[in-house]
Amino acid sequence: MKFSIKITQLALIVALMASIVVACKKEEDNARDCSGTPQIDYIRSTDPGKSDSLLVGSFMGSLIAIIGENLCHAEEMWFNDQKAVLNPTFVTENSILVNVPSTVPTEVNNKIRVVFNDGSELLYDFKVNVPAPTVDRVKCEYVPDGGTLVLDGDFFFAPIKVVFAGDKEAEVLVLDKTHLEVKVPVGAEVGQISVETNFGKAKSKFIFRDDRNILLDYDGKNHETWTAAISGSNPEGCSGNYAQFKHPADAAWMWTNELTMQYWAPRGRGNVPVATGLVNDLALKFEVNIIEWRDVRMEIFFNTYAEDHGRDANVHARYQPWKTGKTQSDGWETVTIPLKDFKYGKDDSDDNGTRSIDNLSSLTNITMMLFGPAAGPNPVNVCVDNVRIVPL
């Protein structure tokens, strides 16, 4: 025990002596002739493993070492238009240790500006690395002119510009680092959307108002009319008419017209596959507006060229947003189901899909139906539009 106490006391004495040495060195540096013209020779990392690497830029928050001459009277340091915090302890004649500001610059000139106590300034080229924006998700691909388009991603920083196809710039309504809401400009066309900041530009992977390979739009490309009703006003549509699954659904396994939407190619566009390409490269997409939906799954499946639903024989996808607690949606949303997720036989459990789509080119029909087990009454009011199969 005595030995441990002595070691601890010794450590404290060593730390105290080290601090005195640093303080004395600081006073000695300040006492030197530091009246010459300040200059910066180079900037390096403070990481010992990278100390030989010279820097021309660094990420926000990084600790860097500025090496030069006659630097001891530096009082302010700016990176672009953002002021850094200078600790006098780390300002000497030949070096300054400083953290790059963690706030995003609004005006970018890619320079460090050092202000000295006599009012003089020194500029040095240095880039603060801020990532370009990324667009990861859109709430709904179909939004009318004047409506609000919602994007999620990262590195959304002001000033920001959002441009739709047709060179139509949007008005920004809400801006956060990972969330962006804009007003769709009048005359916006089908195509990708670009998001641009001072630090780069990104284009959406999704296509705004995607019109590729539309199977059903309920404005001309229709399903069997004796199944889910076509509506367009309650709620308001995202692009014209839509199919509406609406029923009290007061029992499980209810096979009823109102909860079924069937498209039979012999009465539609003829013997044309629902899509061409590789299953792993494609996804089924549609817009959905969930007014009420609690406990019965939506089965989605394709069938060969026939006037038949084909439920028993074909492979299914199961769309069940209520499983994650989503029994309503905030307006229209775009749903994406990769074709590789069509993996259920009619009797498979949700945890054990045993099937896959073997021959996409033979499939011409599509059915969407709310059908399955349920825990008591399950009133349903679900709207669907713009059913399509497109590249992921």
List of residues 6+ apart from 288 with CB closer than 8 A: 329, 332, 333, 334, 335, 382, 383, 384, 385
Identify whether the C-beta of residue 224 lies closer than 8 Å to the C-beta of residue 262: yes
Dihedral-angle region of residue 69 (phi above 0 means left; psi in -120 to 50 means alpha; beta otherwise): beta
Split at pLDDT 50, 70, 90, the class of 148 is very high
* Per-residue pLDDT, 32: 52
Identify whether the C-beta of residue 303 lies closer than 8 Å to the C-beta of residue 292: no
Identify whether the C-beta of residue 25 lies closer than 8 Å to the C-beta of residue 15: no
Q: What is the pLDDT of residues 194-243, one digit of tens each?
A: 999 999 999 999 999 999 999 999 999 999 989 999 999 999 999 999 99
Q: What is the pLDDT of residues 46-97, one digit of tens each?
A: 988 776 789 999 999 999 999 999 999 999 999 999 999 999 999 999 999 9
CA atoms within 13 A on the CB side of 94: 4
Identify whether the C-beta of residue 370 lies closer than 8 Å to the C-beta of residue 297: yes
* Per-residue pLDDT, 33: 67
DSSP 266-304: GGTT-S--S--S-GGGEEEEEEEEEEE--S-PEEEEEE-
From first CA to last CA, the distance across the chain in angstroms is 68
Q: Strand 333-338 relative to strand 134-138: parallel, antiparallel, unpaired?
A: unpaired
Token pair, residue 370, equals 């709310």
Split at pLDDT 50, 70, 90, the class of 45 is very high
Token pair, residue 388, equals 């399509």
* Per-residue pLDDT, 177: 95
- Residue ranges of domains in the chain, CATH in brackets: 34-129 (2.60.40.10), 134-203 (2.60.40.10), 214-391 (2.60.120.430)
Q: What is the pLDDT of residues 275-288, one digit of tens each?
A: 999 999 999 999 99
Element (H, E) at 243: strand 242-247
Highest-confidence range of 52-56, 151-155, 346-350, by mean pLDDT?
A: 151-155
Percent of the chain with pLDDT over 70: 91
Number of C-beta neighbours around residue 357 at 10 A: 19
Secondary structure of residue 221 in the 3-state scheme: coil
* Per-residue pLDDT, 374: 84
Number of C-beta neighbours around residue 331 at 10 A: 17
- The C-alpha atoms of residue 332 and residue 238 are separated, in whole angstroms, by 7
Partners of 294 in beta bridges: none
Split at pLDDT 50, 70, 90, the class of 5 is very low
Q: What is the pLDDT of residues 172-195, one digit of tens each?
A: 999 999 999 999 999 999 999 999
Please identify which residue in the block is written with the tokens 């640093």. 22
List of residues 6+ apart from 363 with CB closer than 8 A: 273, 274, 302, 303, 304, 357
Q: Is the pLDDT of residue 22 over 60?
A: no
* Per-residue pLDDT, 249: 87
* Per-residue pLDDT, 35: 83
Q: Report, as an integer, the average pLDDT of 244-261.
A: 91
